[in-house]
Amino acid sequence: MLEDVLIAPSILSANFLELGSELERISSADLVHFDVMDGSFVPNLSFGIPILKQVKKATELPLDVHLMIEHPDSLLDDFIDAGADYVCFHQEAAPHAHRLISHIHERGCKAAMALNPGTAPCVLESVVGDLDMILVMTVDPGFGGQAFIPSSIEKVREVRALCDRHGVAPLIEVDGGIGTANAAAICEAGANVLVAGSSVFRGDYADNIQSIREQARQGISRQA
């Protein structure tokens, strides 16, 4: 089990007129979370491959690419070629999940699978041993700035228990409404990667990252 927490600021909340500067201001984080929305799987559009290529040039942090799209298999190679280090697709959009995971690994990237709030952790049973990371959505995907769904804490605990039963320890990431108020409880439940958007991209970004990290470490210290 990871003994520390990873902080992954979501640049969906960044100022895109100053993206290079924004990336410098989050350099104390561990990952850059890159949300891709297609207007079909989720009711919004974000950014894609050309922006990812520019982000790759502007930061040394690993890129955590979250594909909130239909037919993720059709664009996997494009996002990997553009610089993705982690590729996360949604279980709900991937009837052939094992094939996608295998292909991501063949391309030398880390494979992650996301679960919407309404998706039960049991869908992970057949692939959990192949995943490098599991993303538990703690809001309904598609828009930044939403309020955290409180029942997600129990879902994180269920995902951690499922991993323990299988004898595996993928990273457990959470995304949606994360900040200092809930970081400890989320990490105590079993999470060790926190995606944070609006709670990072305001005021002093480095201070915000450190404050979330400190709260999260308190929760990790209390994990059973």
User: Which residues participate in the annotated binding site for a divalent metal cation?
Assistant: 33, 35, 66, 175
Q: Which of 64, 78, 175, 207 is catalytic?
A: 175
Q: Residue 88 is inside which H or E element, if any? A: strand 86-90
Name 137's Cβ contacts closer than 8 Å, sequence gap at least 6: 114, 115, 116, 117, 152, 174, 175, 176
Active site residue 207: no
Measured CA to CA, the distance from residue 129 to residue 143 in angstroms comes to 30
Token duo for residue 145: 């700035």
Q: Which of 35, 38, 164, 204 is catalytic?
A: 35
Annotated binding site for substrate: 10, 66, 142-145, 175-177, 197-198
Measured CA to CA, the distance from residue 147 to residue 219 in angstroms comes to 20
Active site residue 35: yes
Annotated binding site: 10, 33, 35, 66, 142-145, 175-177, 197-198
- Strand-pair category, 110-115 with 86-90: parallel
Active site residues: 35, 175
